[in-house]
Every structure is written in structure tokens, then in C-alpha cells.
Structure 1
Amino acid sequence: MQVIFLSLCLFFIPLGIIVLCVRRRRRFNLYELRGPDSRSFWLGHQAEYVYQRETGESEFKWMREHGSAWRVRGCMGEHRLMVADPKALQYILHISGYNFPKSPDASHTIRMLTGDGLAGEIHRRQRKVMAAAFSVPHLKTFLTQFQRTAAKASGLTCQQLAQKWKDEIATDKNQEPILNLSAWLSRATLDIIGEAGFDFDFGALDNSENSVTHMYDRLFVDSLYHGPLDALFKSFWRYLPEPILDLLVYLPRREYRRFRNYLRDIREVSRGIVRKSIIKGDGRDIMSVLLRANDSENPQTKLSDGEVVDQIGTLLLAGHDTSANSLTWFFWELAKHPEWAREIREEIADVRARVGAGNFSITDLEGMSTMLAALKESMRLHPIVWQLSRIAARDDVIPLAYPVTTKSGEEILAIHVPKGTHIDMSFCSYSRLPEVWGEDAGKWNPGRFRDIDREKQFSVGLYANLLNFSGGVRGCLGWRFSIIEMQAIAATLLENFEFSLPPQTPESRITRKPLVLMVPMVEGSAYPWMGLKVRCRD
């Protein structure tokens, strides 16, 4: 296995060196940008960035030193651009989105997980069909019902989750056990998206060992965190033809075996969802609307049966762990800031007194302004999608909102990027940019969303000007669903439980691990972990 890996590296290293030496001559403007010194020609800053111990350790330091855009090194001396500037992000994601596609390594890593789903590079045609399912005519008849379904599914699942926690607490001698919120919330959000999105019962809360939850168990840890040598290997993918890239999934390494097994299993589950939706025919869940929209498409542009199946896997992968991880950081912050938790509970109690028993409606949830501010602040400080990479498809000029200083001392408000330049968008750095969020941008302060001046911000993200759902032509179609879901879960659990930090030891200290998503983990653990003390409220 190692021999094959080393042989591939040795085969492509000479080719890569020749190509990079030629391409580096074209990057004079990028070279003039300031940036951190690299200690390795072979790895550049990849070890410090992609495989850093905790999300943002490197980028926050670089941003303080060099401003909202800076130069970093990729493998074998490649110059890459890293940006946290809102105007640059707006240009890359919104204004010129399709001129900045995913890089080959990112695109094919995602394709190994999602097949021909919307996350792949055959994006424009697929999104056209998906967007038709969420067009204005469809939304007028569908969105209200969908929101009710989402709120109902979230409410019912939350009540089920709350009861399971109460049962577990009742059997604990101390009446205040440490629960791993990562595992519980992942199962809850999987059930919610299954019910509201596909009218399908995954039964994850009732049976944590079922086949679907097993597919997602440690998926990102097993398949996407393998150290700097993996980054060096992937740096050669841009030079491989498509047929060869498609064969990489068969390499005899653990991560590629995990890719194969996951995609095979999730496709089987997705086919079952499609069959059920076709039999039902007139449903208002996501799958039913998508099938009807696809049937009305021109035969030359409609999704194939395989693409429809892969859309489900993509939506499931993107739609449940993102919400679950966002909520884990939300409860973690409230455990550290009990004064905000008390204020939110008072707000929830006022709404409960007005509406009586039962699940909260969309209007009820949207009226909880303090809880919404706290959710937004947690999403800002802990962006689950912490970075994305793109590659310039043509020579371009990226504008900046805030000037940066070059090596020669010149202040510039635009950066010339040659075709082929890799651009790393640091969403976690943008979320802590003082010029956008204030001098206390590194601190948790929900009050900023009560007083924020939207007139002074560039339109970047889909929700609260955050990039948790990305933005522009590739922005997440399901962001509204996720917000409804998180509001419903947060309100139900805060109404029933109080959260506090366990004793802070090396075994319980949470780190923000930079996988594809920013995952809470403790040192030495092989699983996502957000352990909090949970107590039933009287």
C-alpha cells in the first residue's frame, strides 16, 4: 500500500516541479504580496493550515500581520492567495462565481463522497434543476407547508430527544451526566431532515446503531484527515486526466476504502427514498418537488436517475451534520455564558406563556430575537464551513474592501491573479475581521447582532452575512431549513435543560478540529466530542 503511494509521488514530482517552475514566473503580482515565511519547499504552508491543531490558529495570526489578504505557499513552492476580505469574497462567490471553480483535488475529494451530486463540478446544469424546485411559483405553494413540516418534524424529534435525555439523567447517580452533544444532535438532525426533507424515517434517535448512522460515524475523521503527505499527493491531481482521477478511489488506503463503502451504502438508501417518493407521487417534501421539477425539464438538461439519487446523498451529508455541529458550539457558548442562557430562557418562557402547550410555530421561533442573536453569534465565531478553496479559471483582478500593503510598502485595493492561481477563502478569518465585526470580533457577544449596521457591510453570506452556508452561485439551497431546524432544537432543549462545562482537564478540553467541517474533538479522541454537563430544569 505504501509502495503504491510512494511510487505515484515519485512519478509525478518531476512533472510537478517543471510545471510549477514555469507557472511561478507568471505570479509576480502575487509574489509581491506579503505573507508568512515557509519552512518547507515540499509542503509550503499546507501542514500549518490544512492540518493545524485547531481551526484558525495560523490564519488569525497571518491576518493580524498582513491584513485581509495575503500570500501563502502551497506544495513545491506554489504561490497561493488567501483572503478574508469581504469584497474579495463577494467577488469570488457572487459576482464572478463560475470563473472560480473548485480545484481538482477539492472537486474530486467531494465527488468521492457525493458522486454526481450538486457539490460536484457539473454544477450549473444541476443547480438549474434544483433551483426550479425552489423557484418563486413553487415556493408560493410549497414553502409555507414545508416550513410547517420542518417545524413539526423538528418539534416532534426535539421532544423525543428531550425525553431520552431525561431518561438518561434519571438513571445517573449525580443527576447531571456529561452527554456528548455531537452524537445526540447528529442523530436528531438526521431524523429531522429524513422526515421533513424526504418523508422518510431513519430512526436514528431510537437506534444509534442503525445502518444510516453507522455510515456517518467518523466519516470525516476517517476519510479526510491524513497528514501533510496526503496534501503533497493531492497537489498532483491537477495534472491527472479525468479517467485517472476516477480511479484514485480504488487506491488501497483506509480513506479511499471508506469513500467507496460510504458512497455505495448511501446510494442504496437514496434509491429506497426515490422509490417511495415515486409511489407516493404528490408529496410536498424536497424529494417529491425535485422529481416533479426534473420531470418538467428538457430531456437534454434534466438530471439522470443516478444524479437524482446522488442529490439525496449530497443533501443528507450537507444537511444534518452542519446543523448539528453549529448547535454543539451554540450550547458550548451558553454553558460558558449562563447570563445569556438565562435571558434566552426568559424569552422562551414569555412565548410559551402566550402560545400555550405544543410545538412552537415559525412565527414563534422568529420572534425569539435574543435566541436568534445568540445563534448568529455562535455561527459567526464557530463557522462550521471554515474554509473553501477555488482556482482562477482565467486571468482576473480581485477587488479588496480594505487596502493591504505589499513588500515594497505600496497600499493596494486590488490583486491581479493569473489563470490557475489557487485561492483559499478563509471564512473563519472573515468571521473575526475587526473591520467587519468590531474590535471585539474574537469574543462571543450576541449583542452585536442587535445593533449591527448592515449598511456598512458587503453582502457576502446567505444568512446574517455569515458564510456558514457559503454564498453566491454555490450557496446552500437548504439554508432556510437549517435555520428553522436549529431554532426549534435550541428552543426545546433550553426550555428543558441547563448546560454547564465539565471540569476542564486535558481529556475534556474541546478543540476546533479543522476537517471539511469544523468538528469539536478532544485531544486523543478518534470521535467528534462535545461533552457538556446537562441538568433537567424543574
Structure 2
Amino acid sequence: MEPNHLISLSAFCLSLFLGALFFRARRRKFILRDLRGPESRSFWLGHQPEYVYQKETGESEFKWMREYGSAWRVQGCMGEDRLMVADPKALQYMLHTSGYNFPKTPDTSHTIRMLTGDGIGSAQGEIHRRQRKVMAAAFSVPHLKTFLAQFQVTASKLAQKWKDEIATDKNHEPILNLSEWLSRATLDIIGEAGFDFDFGALDDSDNPVTHMYENLFVDSLYHGPFDALFKSFWRFLPESILDLLVYLPRREYRRFRNYLSGIREVSRGIVRKSIVKGDGRDIMSVLLRANGSEDPQTKLSDDEVVDQIGTLLLAGHDTSANSLTWFFWELAKHPESAQEIREEIAAVRARIGARDFSIADLEGMSTMLAALKESMRLHPIVWELSRVAARDDAIPLAFPITTKSGEHITVIPVRKGTHIDMSFCSYGRLPEVWGEDAGEWNPGRFRHVDKEKQISVGLYANLLNFSGGVRGCLGWRFAMIEMQAIAATLLENFEFSLPPQTSETRIIRNPLVLMVPMVEGHMYPWMGLKVRCLD
């Protein structure tokens, strides 16, 4: 074939392909055409730059929620209309009632697969059901409570590291980067409790895993708006082609590839050690025993077992670390709340003496728990999730919205293939759920919650930090015990305050896959607080 003819044929095929994409996107648009929503300034990118790549998490969504209510229309790439929801009944329906009918979008699922392989995070449908059934045994409540002592050992070690740091500072009130310190502490915790493995992160050990996680989310997931356009084509590609994307000659895909290869090598060593030990109490040992007793048709494959380790490492340390980071930031801004918590901790300490706090002690610290919940409400680490309708459906609403034609509706019909963005950060600020002061710090709201008036959505305190329903986080209890243990230890020993607010210390809520604290213009996690030792 002549070169010119080949070029013409290629151009013609590309035009047909783009035309098919455009037709499918426009066809889906009509079913949402009467919903109100912001006007898009770009056919190609839609609102992607305004919420996926916005400067600060929630900037756009909060504005849209105030204008349009608990659900609204936004535009995706190439004119595709998408539904964005913060409504609790809609979220309950998609996460709980009909969870497997709203799977992850192809770009979301495959991005997770690039990072965690065939672990539970990327699994869909029946594969997810099978993996979750086996893994549930390792996350029983009695088993998770046995880890409290380990959490407290690491928390005390972190406290001593800070005291040493403060002692060497001439002002005895240094600015510490809590993001880095808490990430190292929670990595040590998930290593010991999850896999009976010492990463030595707090001891500055030259461990390859610590290096693998440095700036992982920033390097591999912060691509810019045009990456969204590229990923909008992924839904039309077969799995065999999607698996090759990791070999694209770009820095972020190279980071995906190197990270997954490295973490799999470490994970295989952990599995071999757990098998030899046999009777371990760590999460991986319990999982392996549960998997061994399962029917061969329902158990995890060897590759799936290996990839669960990478999944648990990724999900099990930076999520807790970031949640605690925002918690201490809020307390630094609200010293009266911090003082109330400190007095509560002191009262418990006076009652129990020198022994460590028990689970009952921590659960009895209602002031600290209310503040932790309030911080999680204002700062959900996973701030949004994207789903796609697997069939024609109708999504119910708790709070009616007004359409462009003036109709008040309580159900939104969606067509198969419609993309839905679940805005967890907007749900956490919804006045109809949390009150007129939903945008303000008020831990007291969690002491007077009328559960009968709330629609059950999240796994903990009706928050969505751990998602909910069929894909809710298995390790949420692990995370809550861990965060309470660390929070109590650090608040008993230290006082936190904001440093002078300059362009170099002012924190923004960066909307990566996780909501990461950063200073504008610096592409690495940073939460600098002044820390003063109390003893």
C-alpha cells in the first residue's frame, strides 16, 4: 500500500473511532440534560481541570453544592455529561444497596492495578467478592484489638524521637514536618502488625520500601489535565492493551512499574517468612491460614496473595498518617479543643496510673474521639471516588433537587455507562446532614448525633473516610485503634501550634488520590507545626 494511502486510511479509521466516542458521550448526555450544573469552558477537558486538578480539594465542589444542591451535572472529556453526587441516599444506594452495579471506572481501576497489581483494590465483581471473603478473617475485631500494644510501642518511640529533636533545637519548639514523621511511624506499624516485618522507618533504616514510598502519589499521580483526556479513552481499550500502558516512556508510568516490581519482590519474601513461621499473629499469617482452609475454587492465587501485601501497605499507612496530620493541624488552629482533650487524657491517666491505655480507656475519651471524627469529616483522605453505571438505573435522593426546567426530583435516571463522581468531601460539608455550620470546626456535633435522622452511609461515624458498602475498607477498625493510640500518646506529651503563616508555611489540601497537605509550589507532602514538649 502506498504511504499516502496508508496515512489516509489511518486518518479515516481514527476519525471513525473519535466519532464513535463522541456519539457515545453525547448519547449519554441527553439523559442528564435537565440537571443543573456549571458551564464548561472546554469541550475536550470539560470540568476536569476544575475539580480533579484544582488547587485545593473541594474548592469547586463546595461552590457547586451550594448552588445546585446535593447532586449536579458536570462535564467530562469530549462533551460527556457526568453526574456528581454528595447526597447520602444516592451514596448509600451506589455503595451499599447496589454496590456491584456501580464498579470503578476503567481508568480508576487500572491506575490502582498499576500500583497494587491483582490485589483487592483493583478487583471487580466476583473476583472482589472472593478476595474479600478470604481476607475478612484477618480483620476480625478481637484480632485487631491485640495490636494495641504494638501501636503504643511505636507511638512512644515516635514521642521519644520528637523529644530528642526538641532537645537539640535552641528554641525547644522546632517546626516538625508531621507528614513525614507520621508516615514513618505508620509504616513501621503496618510492617509489624501486618507482616511481622521491621521496616525501621523511625530509625532511618536504609530500607528499600521506605524509598519506594517517597513522594509516590506526587510522582506517579500528579500528571495534569491532559492526562484526564488520555485516560478517557481507556474504557474503549481491551485489558491486554491496558496492561501495556505501564511501559509508556513517561516518568509517572516508569514510577508505577518500578514501584510494583519492587514491592512484589519484598512481598514474596514476607510470604515465604510467614509460611515458615506458620503460627504468626500478624495479618498476613492469619490471611495465609484462612486461605489454606478455603475451597480451592474460592481461595486466593499465589499472585493474589503477594499483591495483597502491596495493597495493605499502600492503604494501611499513609491513609492513617494523613488523617492524623490533619487532626493535629486542626488542634493547632483550635488550642481550646486541644486543651479539653489534654484534660480528658490527664483524668484517665490519674485513674489508671502508669499502665498503658486500654481499648476501653481510649473509647472512653469522648472529647478526643469527637475531635478526631470532626477532623475526618472536614478532611476525608479519599475525597472522591468515580464509578460507572453497569446498567440502566435510577439513583434515589434524600434531598430533592431542582432541574433546569424547574421540576423538583428525588430520583435521577442514569443510562448504562454513565460516569458518576461520588464527592465525599462535599458529603462531609452538606448542611442538610451536618447542620448549617457544616463548613466550620465543631467537634460537639458528634456528641449529639441523632442517628435515627441520618441515612447510614459510612463505616465509622457515618463518615466516608473508609468508603462503605461492599467495597468498604476492611481495615477501618485497625486504623481507628491505631489513630486513637497515637493521638493520645502525642497529646499527652506535646502541644501543637501553627508556625508564622507565610507562603512557605501555609498549608493547602492538595487533591491527589489522597488529600495530601502541601505548601503551594513545593511538590512533596509537608505539614509543618510548632511542637512543644510538655514535660
**TM-score normalised by L of structure 2:** 0.96
The residue type paired with residue 381 of structure 2 is I
Report if the CA contact (8 A) 1:73-1:80 is conserved: yes
The aligned residue for residue 46 of structure 2 is 44
Report if the CA contact (8 A) 1:224-1:515 is conserved: yes
Please report how far the alpha carbon of residue 207 of structure 1 lies from its aligned counterpart in structure 2 after TM superposition.
1.2
The residue type paired with residue 54 of structure 2 is Q
- Picking from 237, 242, 246, the partner of 2:243 is 246
- Picking from 502, 517, 521, the partner of 1:520 is 517
Separation (CA, whole Å) in 1 of partners of 2:465 and 2:517: 16
The residue type paired with residue 449 of structure 1 is F
The aligned residue for residue 309 of structure 2 is 312
Which aligned pairs between 1:135-534 and structure 2 lie closer than 5 A?
135=137, 143-148=141-146, 150-207=147-204, 209-534=206-531
Please report how far the alpha carbon of residue 11 of structure 1 lies from its aligned counterpart in structure 2 after TM superposition.
8.3
Which aligned pairs between 1:97-112 and structure 2 lie closer than 5 A?
97-112=99-114
Separation (CA, whole Å) in 1 of partners of 2:493 and 2:15: 58
The CA deviation string for residues 5-48 of structure 1, in whole angstroms up to 9 with x for no partner, is: xxx99986762343232442344231110000000000000010
Report if the CA contact (8 A) 1:146-1:284 is conserved: no
The CA deviation string for residues 434-469 of structure 1, in whole angstroms up to 9 with x for no partner, is: 000000000011000001111111110000000000
C-alpha distance 347-414 of structure 1, shift in aligned 2 (>3 A): same
Report if the CA contact (8 A) 1:102-1:121 is conserved: no
Report if the CA contact (8 A) 1:397-1:414 is conserved: yes
Separation (CA, whole Å) in 2 of partners of 1:34 and 1:315: 40
Separation (CA, whole Å) in 2 of partners of 1:112 and 1:468: 23
Confirm or deny that 1:96 pairs with 2:98.
yes
Report if the CA contact (8 A) 2:166-2:174 is conserved: yes
Tell me the secondary structure at the aligned position of residue 447 of structure 1: helix
The CA deviation string for residues 104-123 of structure 1, in whole angstroms up to 9 with x for no partner, is: 11111000000000011345
Give the paired residue count.
526
Separation (CA, whole Å) in 1 of partners of 2:335 and 2:15: 54
Please report how far the alpha carbon of residue 212 of structure 1 lies from its aligned counterpart in structure 2 after TM superposition.
1.1
Confirm or deny that 1:134 pairs with 2:136.
yes
- Picking from 48, 57, 60, the partner of 2:62 is 60
Report if the CA contact (8 A) 2:517-2:525 is conserved: yes
Tell me the secondary structure at the aligned position of residue 443 of structure 2: coil
Separation (CA, whole Å) in 1 of partners of 2:506 and 2:327: 16
Separation (CA, whole Å) in 2 of partners of 1:429 and 1:119: 23
The aligned residue for residue 15 of structure 1 is 17
Please report how far the alpha carbon of residue 472 of structure 1 lies from its aligned counterpart in structure 2 after TM superposition.
0.4
C-alpha distance 16-212 of structure 1, shift in aligned 2 (>3 A): same
Please report how far the alpha carbon of residue 269 of structure 1 lies from its aligned counterpart in structure 2 after TM superposition.
1.2
Please report how far the alpha carbon of residue 276 of structure 1 lies from its aligned counterpart in structure 2 after TM superposition.
1.2
The CA deviation string for residues 453-496 of structure 1, in whole angstroms up to 9 with x for no partner, is: 11111110000000000000000000000000000000000000
- Picking from 21, 29, 32, the partner of 2:31 is 29
Please report how far the alpha carbon of residue 301 of structure 1 lies from its aligned counterpart in structure 2 after TM superposition.
2.1
Report if the CA contact (8 A) 1:126-1:303 is conserved: no
Separation (CA, whole Å) in 2 of partners of 1:503 and 1:14: 58
Report if the CA contact (8 A) 2:386-2:421 is conserved: yes
Report if the CA contact (8 A) 2:103-2:124 is conserved: no
Separation (CA, whole Å) in 1 of partners of 2:104 and 2:330: 33
Separation (CA, whole Å) in 1 of partners of 2:14 and 2:461: 44
Please report how far the alpha carbon of residue 272 of structure 1 lies from its aligned counterpart in structure 2 after TM superposition.
1.4
Report if the CA contact (8 A) 1:125-1:301 is conserved: no
Please report how far the alpha carbon of residue 300 of structure 1 lies from its aligned counterpart in structure 2 after TM superposition.
2.0
Separation (CA, whole Å) in 1 of partners of 2:484 and 2:126: 31
- Picking from 511, 528, 537, the partner of 2:534 is 537
Separation (CA, whole Å) in 2 of partners of 1:26 and 1:222: 34
Name stretches of at least 5 consecutive residues in structure 1 with no aligned partner: 1-7
The residue type paired with residue 144 of structure 2 is F
Tell me the secondary structure at the aligned position of residue 413 of structure 1: strand
The residue type paired with residue 385 of structure 1 is V
Confirm or deny that 1:118 pairs with 2:120.
yes
The CA deviation string for residues 210-244 of structure 1, in whole angstroms up to 9 with x for no partner, is: 21111111000000011111011000011111111
Separation (CA, whole Å) in 2 of partners of 1:175 and 1:277: 44
The aligned residue for residue 4 of structure 1 is none
C-alpha distance 95-199 of structure 1, shift in aligned 2 (>3 A): same
The aligned residue for residue 5 of structure 1 is none
Tell me the secondary structure at the aligned position of residue 175 of structure 1: coil
C-alpha distance 9-423 of structure 1, shift in aligned 2 (>3 A): farther
**TM-score normalised by L of structure 1:** 0.95
Report if the CA contact (8 A) 1:146-1:196 is conserved: no
Please report how far the alpha carbon of residue 363 of structure 1 lies from its aligned counterpart in structure 2 after TM superposition.
1.1
Separation (CA, whole Å) in 1 of partners of 2:532 and 2:13: 58
Aligned-pair identity in percent equals 78
The aligned residue for residue 4 of structure 2 is none
Report if the CA contact (8 A) 1:44-1:77 is conserved: yes
Report if the CA contact (8 A) 1:129-1:294 is conserved: no
The residue type paired with residue 335 of structure 1 is A
Separation (CA, whole Å) in 1 of partners of 2:523 and 2:369: 32
Separation (CA, whole Å) in 2 of partners of 1:10 and 1:65: 43
Report if the CA contact (8 A) 1:101-1:121 is conserved: no
Please report how far the alpha carbon of residue 127 of structure 1 lies from its aligned counterpart in structure 2 after TM superposition.
4.0
Please report how far the alpha carbon of residue 125 of structure 1 lies from its aligned counterpart in structure 2 after TM superposition.
3.2
Q: What is the Cα-based RMSD across aligned positions, in Å?
A: 1.7
The residue type paired with residue 503 of structure 1 is P
Report if the CA contact (8 A) 1:181-1:531 is conserved: yes
The aligned residue for residue 71 of structure 2 is 69
Separation (CA, whole Å) in 2 of partners of 1:240 and 1:179: 46
Report if the CA contact (8 A) 1:27-1:417 is conserved: no
C-alpha distance 518-100 of structure 1, shift in aligned 2 (>3 A): same
Separation (CA, whole Å) in 2 of partners of 1:223 and 1:60: 27
Please report how far the alpha carbon of residue 145 of structure 1 lies from its aligned counterpart in structure 2 after TM superposition.
4.4
The CA deviation string for residues 72-128 of structure 1, in whole angstroms up to 9 with x for no partner, is: 000010000000000000000000000001111111100000000001134533443
The residue type paired with residue 233 of structure 2 is F
Name stretches of at least 5 consecutive residues in structure 2 with no aligned partner: 1-9
The residue type paired with residue 189 of structure 1 is T
Report if the CA contact (8 A) 1:17-1:76 is conserved: no
- Deviant stretches of 4+, over 4 Å: 8-14
Tell me the secondary structure at the aligned position of residue 134 of structure 1: helix
